[in-house]
Structure 1
Amino acid sequence: MQQSLEDGQGRRFEYLRLSLTDVCNFRCSYCLPDGYRKPADAPANLSVDEIRRLVTAFATLGLWKVRLTGGEPSLRRELIDIAAAVSRVPGIRRLAMTTNGYRLAERAEDYAAAGINALNVSVDSLDPARFAAITGHDRLSEVLDGIAAARAAGIGTVKLNSVLMSGINDHELEGFIAFVQRHDLSLRFIEVMRTNDNTAFFERHHLAGAEIADRLDAMGWQRLAREQGAGPAVVYAQPGRPGQIGIIAPYSKDFCASCNRLRVSAQGKLHLCLFGDYGIDLRPLLQADDQQDELISRIAALTATKTPGHRLRQGNSGATPHLASIGG
């Protein structure tokens, strides 16, 4: 009989966000405006075998969805091998990846063949100049070509992520709506989140997701029922029209009540919350297949201690230096 993974609040966990690398090649203004700088003492990333053992343990506990994150996961040399290994783990039905779209157009077919069946692609502006200003790269056309290639390759779910920033891209709502309806896509607006490295940026540019929700309501968009295994977005659609808009608003009341996800860093640390104070090292239990029982027990015991919610509304973002550190 398959076990289940629950915390002390009765929340069940079926979704793992697995970081493959801390490295990112973009310089997004809300995350790594000065680019990635590798610490001199950075430990090695988890190997393919360590990742297989980790995901197998989570799957034994009822987890069926894995999202590969970074940094930028496409920079990980073993990405295809990792994706293939994870997709073959019994019980894993959804293998997703969040990417900035780097080389997506040329790699989409390889991703699909390796078992990746869902993609979230970061597109913070549909204006080429603004996209370049936000990310540090004039690559909007390449990213959009990659989205088209991913759909053509048969990746069943392709969504756009856009960080919502007051005074930077908040005026693009109508343009994004027209784009997702024209291409029948889903877009997720994500509130800027305060981390240890972006406090000044957050204070200047944070915009509550509720403001976008109010604008969608005024345009006749309706809130959809939450799907099984879905992430934190509240999703809206316009009756009779293609396309969806989701809002991820971590500063909203009761945001954490429906949490269904855990995180593991690229070096094997379990983070019970994106904005927790520390991660717990699982790597010593990932060295051999005969450690599975101990690993499963450890994951279950730690998950039971997960706190009811983050402390962002109190201005406390825990130990998270920036969103690239454990995948956002």
Structure 2
Amino acid sequence: MTTLQDLQGRTFPYLRLSVTDLCNFRCQYCLPDGCKDTSHRTAINLDEIRRIATAFASLGTNKIRISGGEPTLRTDFVDILKTIRDVPGIKTVAVTTNGYKMDQRVESWIDAGMTHLNVSIDSLEPAMFERITGHNRLDEILRGIDIAFAKGLPRVKVNSVLLKGMNDKELDRYLDWIKDKPITVRMIELMETGDADTFFQNHHLSGQIIQKQLLERGWIKSLRLENAGPAHEFCHPDYQGRIGLIMPYSKDFCADCNRLRVNSQGELQLCLFAEHGHSLRHLLQSDDQQELLNQRICELLNLKEDKHFLDQGMTGSTRNLSIIGG
């Protein structure tokens, strides 16, 4: 079996697959005015999703994360889960969601084949959560996590974007929450995007500050698994939960990149902040195109840069993170 490898020798067992650019939250750092111009109606269909998953699995990918926008807004979301679950070679079917109505839906996601869940919770204080996201839905999201555990999901990851002057004093609140819960809270440095440069300047906070606080409290850096995401995780013997830090502005952040992205229009995005994607859609129209599809993916991988250029203020074509799900 061919293994996806770029010119730097990095391999890619992990695909982030966006199935829509539509989102119903109004997060301050992403879509403060709501979702306006989208390509939701022309998103890849179920057969195209199956062909993408099959191609990447045949090239060594074993983990697919379904993202958006907000992927659960698709009416066929459960079918998407089942379709990817049934692709030979795919061992991990992960979902990233804002948690909308999760307390009503998460059981059906698990039944359909979801093995890993990431939920965005940018604050555990209800008023601040509403201020950041534009929604008063924290309680239903927390209920959804409890239901997921009751259903048998062994661990949940929670994403929290670090925002100076907003949620930057909540470390203790998160630590108290995960004391007796198998939750990994991943604190993510705010990344500059084309639509949010001023917000970035006002609210960016380095994850190094949180890392220093964790180390001072006896937290220890964990080993990183092969198909893990970009977070550096920290554990503590007195806590069931973990803290992860995603720091894209840190030195050598891209050195161990292991993930590729396909957006909801069937474009391979070699980096979250690439100038443009590369369309695969013309090779997704029938099953007998798989050999050509595989060949094209391998060819395009030779174009992958060794790093992003965020530190130079170059955000590529990513106007906001809902376009490709982060």
Alignment of 1:303 with 2:306, yes or no, is: no
The answer (yes or no) to whether the contact 1:116–1:155 under 8 Å persists in 2 is no
Work out the percentage of aligned pairs sharing the same amino acid: 51
User: Which of 167, 173, 182 lines up with 1:184 in the alignment?
Assistant: 182
Equivalenced residues, count: 326
Correspondence list, 1:144-159, <5 A: 144-159=142-157
Q: Which residue of 2 aligns with 1:86?
A: 84
Structure 2 residue corresponding to 1:216, chosen from 214, 217, 238: 214
- Structure 1: distance between partners of 2:14 and 2:34: 29
Structure 2 residue identity aligned to 1:296: N
**Partner residue of 1:113 out of 84, 91, 111:** 111
User: Aligned partners of 1:149, 1:3: CA distance in 2, in Å?
Assistant: 40
Q: 1:193 aligns with which of 191, 194, 210?
A: 191
Task: Check the 8 A contact 1:117/1:157 in 2, yes or no.
Answer: no
1:222–1:239 Cα contact (<8 Å) kept: no
Q: Secondary structure at the match of 2:173?
A: helix
- SS across alignment from 1:90: coil
Distance (Å, rounded) in 1 between the aligned partners of 2:118 and 2:239: 21
Specify the alignment match of 1:256 in structure 2. Answer: 254
Name the TM-score, length of structure 2 as normaliser.
Answer: 0.98
Q: What's the secondary structure of 1:183's corresponding residue? A: coil
User: Deviation at 1:119?
Assistant: 0.4
**8 Å contact from structure 1 (residues 43, 267) kept in 2:** no
**Kept after mapping to 2: 8 A contact 1:132/1:138:** yes
Specify the SS of the correspondent of 1:129.
helix
- Paired amino acid for 1:55: A
Pairing 1:142–2:137 present:
no
Q: Which amino acid in the other structure matches residue 84 of structure 1?
A: K
Deviation (angstroms), 1:304? 2.1
Q: 1:86 corresponds to which letter in structure 2?
A: I
Please give the TM-score of this superposition, normalised by the length of structure 1.
0.98
Give the whole-Å Cα distance in 2 for the aligned partners of 1:47 and 1:152.
Answer: 32
Task: Identify the residue that residue 3 of structure 2 maps to in structure 1.
Answer: 4
> Which deviations, in whole Å up to 9, do the C-alpha atoms of 1:226-272 show, x marking residues without a partner?
11210000000112431100000000000000000000001100000
Correspondence for 1:291: 289
Q: How far, CA to CA, are the matches of 1:42 and 1:96 in structure 2?
A: 21
Per-residue deviation at 1:109?
Answer: 1.3
Counterpart in 2 of 1:29? 28
- The residue that corresponds to 1:169 in the other structure is 167
CA distance in 2, matches of 1:30, 1:298: 34
Counterparts of 2:260 and 2:75, CA distance in 1: 24
The letter of the residue matching 2:27 is C
For 1:172, the aligned partner's letter is E
Given residue 15 of structure 1, which amino acid in structure 2 is its aligned partner?
Y
Distance 2:22 2:4 in 1: 30
For 1:249, the aligned partner's letter is M
Q: Which amino acid in 2 is paired with 1:105?
A: D
Structure 2 stretches lacking a partner, 5+ long: none
Deviation of the 1:154 alpha carbon:
2.0
**Equivalents in 1 of 2:154, 2:289: separation in Å?**
35
For 1:27 and 1:243, how far apart are their aligned partners in 2?
28
- What displacement does 1:42 show? 6.7
Unmatched segments (≥5 aa) in structure 1: none
**1:67: which partner in 2?**
65
Tell me the distance in 2 between the aligned counterparts of 1:213 and 1:161.
16
Q: Which amino acid in 2 is paired with 1:10?
A: G
Q: CA deviation at 1:182?
A: 3.0
The equivalent residue for 1:322 is 320
Inter-partner Cα distance in structure 2 for 1:274 and 1:205:
21
Find the residue that maps to 1:324 and give its secondary structure: helix
Equivalent residue for 1:313? 311
Between the aligned partners of 2:232 and 2:210, the Cα distance in structure 1 is 11
1:146 is paired with a residue whose SS is helix
Q: Distance in 1 between matches of 2:145 and 2:24?
A: 19
**Is the contact made by 2:21 and 2:40 (CA closer than 8 Å) also made in structure 1?**
no
Equivalent position of 2:18 in the other structure: 19
